[in-house]
């Protein structure tokens, strides 16, 4: 018997048939299994008809057909990808010599030229997001699949989570290995899915993924189920009740609007606006100084260090003698949606004992006209499981407010991407997060945003960093759960 079974999953039977025809000539492939909405006929093809190619039940049927081969090669979008014989040989060689349960690789986008190489992230303990990019091919060892299903149970009867659940279960019994060279080719660039997890139309999909992720965290000892802690008493003297914190560098077009938006807030408590000017070289400082002269609530802070990212600027503000008992975020590009946003955010901290509060934002252009996806409210959050599901999704939302005492205990990492996610993971582990589901914040998308027009290299670097944050958080949760089990 040849060593490899190929599994093609997609919505286009014609594309699956075309790829299956090419794969049929490989001397390494014993059989080709196709999951598609209509029958796919052809030599050596096992056609399984399903409206949901990624469904748990369909996936179980495919595995029953595949696991008499030593390896399973899964191609999730046959209409997009091409695989040549040399690719399959390389996957097989690495799988045989590494002992990995799952092997994957970077790929080419468009053409097989160096300029078209698209890198993917290295897999970590914290790579538990369901949108992890494995490239065109996931190459499994059948022995690892059998061991995972025997040890952790069969796949759930899901609509969309079959591949995700299989990957997480296999990662629990065998290593996941990235091949350091590009293999296979995608005909087009992958579409951006940054907001897919907050799209109301995908809510059922997201609940399935959350369930699979929660199962995985429970298996590996990383699930949080303990009661929330009270926010520590804070006897420190504070000059004001709350501070709006705005880190900024070279935002002369937007900083004045952001500061005015903060100053227009109506509250029954005292507040100030701490603008951390990270050594701007344009007219940003002049705008801040002018507004500070007009309103003493504006405090311009210039860090002594010149190597700070956004997280480092936050830490400077948090430890400033001007900082309030509570702090609320406002990016230098953005605006509060109305004059009651700050009061609403701080109320959750003052009145309900939350360690952190998160609002809802509306995505707009520079002229404040709404852009897709419109309102981003993060209704995937739940009070009982939000802190666990946060390990799966890209972010927690905005605006964000915190009890200062917690940020002084759990500082931001000194980076300009993912610093908010790191702190949100840590605080949500032990402290309640309050949510507001009406828009309080206008998030401007324009050409000068720091996260616009990211290169493949930047995307991979940022995603790898967030996975490292998840890895660290999972390990700390595992240690906490182990300690609680040993010393109840």
pLDDT (tens digit per residue) in 102-114? 999 999 998 889 9
Tell me how far apart the alpha carbons of residues 247 and 419 are, in angstroms, rounded to a whole number.
Answer: 12
DSSP letter assigned to residue 285: H
Tell me how far apart the alpha carbons of residues 234 and 197 are, in angstroms, rounded to a whole number.
Answer: 36
Instruction: Please check the confidence at residue 192 and state whether its pLDDT lies above 90.
Output: no
Phi, psi dihedral angles at 7 (to 5 degrees): -120, 115
How many Cβ atoms sit within 10 Å of the Cβ of residue 402? 27
Mean pLDDT over each residue of the chain, to the nearest integer = 94
| Residue 82, pLDDT score | 78
Tell me how far apart the alpha carbons of residues 104 and 122 are, in angstroms, rounded to a whole number.
Answer: 10
| Residue 410, pLDDT score | 98
Instruction: Please check the confidence at residue 201 and state whether its pLDDT lies above 80.
Output: no
Tell me how far apart the alpha carbons of residues 178 and 107 are, in angstroms, rounded to a whole number.
Answer: 11
**What does pTM read for this prediction?**
0.94
How many Cβ atoms sit within 10 Å of the Cβ of residue 367? 7
User: Which domains, ranges and CATH numbers included, belong to the chain?
Assistant: 4-201 (3.90.550.10), 242-453 (3.90.550.10)
How many Cβ atoms sit within 10 Å of the Cβ of residue 248? 26
Is the CB of residue 103 less than 8 Å from the CB of residue 95?
yes
CA 467 centroid distance within chain: 8
Strand partners, 228: none
> What digits encode the pLDDT tens for the residues 216-261?
999 999 999 999 999 999 999 999 999 999 999 999 999 999 999 9
Average pLDDT (273-300) is 98
Q: Tell me how far CA of residue 73 lies from CA of 5, 104, 158, in angstroms.
A: 6, 10, 21
Average pLDDT (426-437) is 98
> If we measure between CA atoms, which residue out of 116, 51, 56, 59 comes closest to residue 82?
116
> Can you list the alpha helix ranges (DSSP code H) found in 8-136?
13-23, 56-66, 85-98
Average pLDDT (62-77) is 96
Q: Tell me how far CA of residue 424 lies from CA of 2, 75, 135, 390, 427, in angstroms.
A: 49, 35, 29, 9, 5
Which tokens is 175 given? 């290593």
Task: Band the pLDDT of 187: cuts 50, 70, 90.
Answer: confident
Helix (H) or strand (E) holding 284: helix 284-294
Give, rounded to a whole angstrom, the gap between the first and last alpha carbons of the chain.
Answer: 53
Instruction: Please check the confidence at residue 449 and state whether its pLDDT lies above 80.
Output: no
- Which residue reads 């929330």 in tokens? 228
CA 370 centroid distance within chain: 23
| Residue 313, pLDDT score | 99
Q: Where are the beta strands (DSSP E) in 150-308?
A: 176-179, 185-186, 242-248, 271-277, 298-301
């Amino acid at each position: 018997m040849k060593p490899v079974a190929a599994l093609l999953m997609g919505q286009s039977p014609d594309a699956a048939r075309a790829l299956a025809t090419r794969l049929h000539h490989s001397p390494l492939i014993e059989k080709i299994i196709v999951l598609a909405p209509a029958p796919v006929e052809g030599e050596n093809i096992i056609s399984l008809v399903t409206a949901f190619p990624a469904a748990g039940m369909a996936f179980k049927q495919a595995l029953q057909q595949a696991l008499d081969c030593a390896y399973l090669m899964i191609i999730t979008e046959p209409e997009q990808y091409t695989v040549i014989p040399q690719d399959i040989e390389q996957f097989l060689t690495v799988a045989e010599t590494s002992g990995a349960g799952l092997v994957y690789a970077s790929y080419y986008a468009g053409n097989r030229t160096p300029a078209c190489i698209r890198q993917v992230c290295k897999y970590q303990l914290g790579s538990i997001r369901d949108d992890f990019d494995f490239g065109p091919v996931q190459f499994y060892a059948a022995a690892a699949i059998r061991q995972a299903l025997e040890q952790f149970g069969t796949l759930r009867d899901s609509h969309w989570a079959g591949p995700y659940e299989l990957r997480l279960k296999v990662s629990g019994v065998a290593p996941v290995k990235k091949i350091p060279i590009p293999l296979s080719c995608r005909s087009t660039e992958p579409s951006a899915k940054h907001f897919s997890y907050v799209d109301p139309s995908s809510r059922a999909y997201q609940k399935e993924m959350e369930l699979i992720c929660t199962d995985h965290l429970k298996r590996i000892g990383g699930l949080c189920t303990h009661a929330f802690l009270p926010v520590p008493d804070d006897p420190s003297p504070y000059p004001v009740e709350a501070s709006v914190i705005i880190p900024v560098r070279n935002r002369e077009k937007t900083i004045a609007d952001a500061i005015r938006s903060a100053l227009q807030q109506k509250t029954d408590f005292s507040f100030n606006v701490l603008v951390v000017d990270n050594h701007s070289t344009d007219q940003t400082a002049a705008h801040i100084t002018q507004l500070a002269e007009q309103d003493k609530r504006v405090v311009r802070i210039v860090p002594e260090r010149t190597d700070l990212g956004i997280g480092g600027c936050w830490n400077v503000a948090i430890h400033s003698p001007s900082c309030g008992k509570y702090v609320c975020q406002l990016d230098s590009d953005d605006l509060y949606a109305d004059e009651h946003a700050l009061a609403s955010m701080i109320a959750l901290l003052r009145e309900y004992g939350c360690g952190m509060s998160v609002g809802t934002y509306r995505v707009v252009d520079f002229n404040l006209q709404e852009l897709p996806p419109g309102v981003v409210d993060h209704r995937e959050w739940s009070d009982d499981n939000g802190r666990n599901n946060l390990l799966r999704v890209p972010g927690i939302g905005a605006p964000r407010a915190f009890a200062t005492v917690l940020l002084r205990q759990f500082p931001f990492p000194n980076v300009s991407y993912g610093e908010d996610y790191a702190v949100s993971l840590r605080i949500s582990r032990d402290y309640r997060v309050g949510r507001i589901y009406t828009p309080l914040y206008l998030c401007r998308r324009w050409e000068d945003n720091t996260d616009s027009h990211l290169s493949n290299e930047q995307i991979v670097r940022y995603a790898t960093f967030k996975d490292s944050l998840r890895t660290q958080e999972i390990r700390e949760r595992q240690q906490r759960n182990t300690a609680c089990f040993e010393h109840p």
